């Protein structure tokens, strides 16, 4: 089973640029590359910060592009997104409890996408409603492999400026995940860096943005931008393995 992970489009209104770059053009280049080389993907997940401004116009730009894609695409929210504006354009991406999250059952397992947006804050949060929802979705899938996608990483990556803006109070998340040994991997975005490792026994991958990156700085308390190549990941999830490739679709 092939999954595709993308993160952090940071779309701006038509005619504008972000840090001298065109986020919509980069989004299009990313999706076009995926459609050309990975038309067999079971699911494409975009893990939040779809918009830079949260304006409804940016979500309409996104809708125009994803509506032309033959692939199934699941959209998630990040701290730059505005839930009400997103829901106005993508009502089909919202769950019954008012969050942009889902449990998607595929031939080789379940994909869970978590809404970690804490409205108006850079940090993320999983409220009691979302924790309860996650508990139910994990219980339903006890006999199946699970991959979890979320915008905000729930633990440290040892970059001070980034560790301050992850998921607040992540204990509830880890209590649930540790109780379900079928959780194969956690995928996140938000940090604009490619980072992999292990949190409390759970393998994780954090992905670069399709637009701009965060500088690799293990000292400063403030973030600074970098212009490393954007990429997406290709995930092969099999009964006995999970393998991730990273593709720089643009120099």
Q: How confident is the model at residue 88 (pLDDT cuts 50, 70, 90)?
A: very high
**Domains present along the chain, CATH in parentheses:** 2-247 (3.60.21.10)
Over residues 224-237, mean pLDDT: 96
* % of the chain at pLDDT higher than 70: 100
pLDDT tens track for 167-178? 999 999 999 999
Q: How far apart are CA 176 and CA 180, in angstroms?
A: 7
Q: Is the pLDDT reported for residue 192 higher than 90?
A: yes
Mean pLDDT computed over 155-168: 97
pLDDT value, residue 96: 79
- 251 has a pLDDT exceeding 90: no
Q: What is the mean pLDDT of residues 61-73?
A: 98
């Amino acid at each position: 089973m092939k999954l595709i992970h993308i993160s952090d489009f940071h779309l701006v209104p038509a005619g504008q640029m972000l840090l001298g770059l065109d986020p919509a053009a980069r989004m299009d280049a990313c999706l076009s590359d995926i459609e050309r080389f990975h038309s067999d993907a079971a699911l494409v997940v975009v893990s939040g910060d779809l918009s830079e401004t949260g304006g409804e116009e940016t979500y309409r730009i996104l809708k125009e592009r994803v509506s032309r894609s033959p692939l199934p695409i699941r959209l998630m929210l990040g701290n730059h997104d505005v839930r009400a504006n997103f829901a106005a354009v993508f009502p089909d991406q919202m769950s019954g409890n008012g969050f942009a999250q889902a449990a998607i059952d595929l031939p080789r397992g379940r994909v869970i996408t978590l809404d970690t947006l804490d409205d108006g804050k850079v940090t993320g949060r999983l409220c009691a409603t979302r924790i309860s929802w996650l508990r139910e979705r994990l219980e339903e899938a006890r006999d199946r492999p699970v991959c979890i996608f979320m915008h905000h990483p729930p633990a440290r990556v040892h970059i001070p400026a980034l560790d301050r803006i992850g998921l607040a109070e992540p204990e509830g998340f880890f209590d649930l995940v540790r109780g379900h040994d079928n959780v194969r991997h956690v995928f996140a975005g938000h940090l604009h860096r490619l980072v992999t490792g292990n949190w409390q026994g759970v393998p994780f991958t954090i992905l670069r943005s399709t637009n701009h990156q965060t500088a690799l700085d293990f000292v400063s308390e403030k973030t600074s931008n970098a212009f490393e190549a954007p990429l997406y990941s290709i995930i092969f999830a099999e009964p006995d393995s999970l393998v991730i490739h990273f593709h720089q679709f643009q120099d």
